[in-house]
Amino acid sequence: MTAPSAEPENVVWFKQASMPTKHIQLGDNMSFIYSVATTMADPDHFAEAGAGWAGERLRSLGAMSVMANQVVMGGEMAGQVLVAFETDSADAAMALNAAIYADGDLLKLLADTGVQVERRTLMRRQAEFGSRDASHGTILYLAGPPQSDENTESNMALSWGHLEAGAAGMAAMQVIAGGPSPFSGVVVTWADSMDALLAASAANFADPAVQERMAATNTTVLGRMMTRRLF
């Protein structure tokens, strides 16, 4: 097994597992996402284990949810597998990391599937709309100063008015710890059709009200990735 990289780590995000369709109201417990970008030799074996015993083991160690996506369109990250562990606090994320590397069965799975950790990031979910239940997803990398939960909620509600035409759901994440990086946040969307999602996204960015909000918050979109759900 290859030890986690000591290189500065950038932001990654990947599609969550099935979740009831709803708008998660501001003031709900905003969870933390401990995310890992990996390369691996056998993603099919990893996905099978993740959907079965390994997912159950990770939940028993403190993960509220665990899921993985493979990057399809994402520049130099194409082919990487992105694994997300959702926890209720930063302390829980740190404890989960330690527990994973103390579990012999999980270490064997990482070795058997040739997992190499490329990046690790902690983020906090600030707003979410719709459902996480979809076969594909996109990740928008954002630059700009940190925004309050109230501002993020309001801005994402405006965008969701456009995106719900082509997406199952969306969530906004604030980067807490990602190493030296231009990224300060990410927005993930979940969808079954990339064409429908891209059409809705184009309508969103063409809205003068959205453009005004982005200018007021000095928010810039730095890039997009498309992913396929593994489990």
Q: d(Cα 86, Cα 69) in Å, to the nearest integer?
A: 14
pLDDT at site 114: 98
Residue 45, pLDDT score = 98
How far apart are alpha carbons 175 and 173 in whole angstroms? 6
CATH of the domain at 74: 3.30.70.100
Domain membership of residue 213 (yes or no) is yes
Q: Enumerate the H helices of the chain as residue ranges.
A: 43-50, 53-60, 90-100, 104-112, 149-163, 194-206, 208-216
In a domain, 172, yes or no: yes
Within a domain: 201: yes
Residue 2 lies in a domain: no
Give the pLDDT means over successive 10-residue stretches in the chain (231 positions): 35 37 49 97 98 98 96 97 97 98 98 97 97 96 95 96 98 95 94 98 98 97 97 95
Based on C-alpha coordinates, what's the Rg of the chain? 17
In-domain check, residue 7? no
What distance in Å separates the CA atoms of residue 229 and residue 115, rounded to the nearest whole number? 17
Q: Which residue has the tokens 């998660």?
A: 24
Is position 10 within any domain?
no
How many structural domains is the chain composed of?
A: 1
pTM given for the model:
0.84
Residue 203 lies in a domain: yes
Q: Which domain holds residue 84?
A: 32-229
The verdict on residue 47 lying in a domain is yes
Rounded to the nearest 10 degrees, what angle do helices 43-50 and 104-112 cross at? 150
Confidence (pLDDT) at 29: 53
Token couple for 197: 């999602």
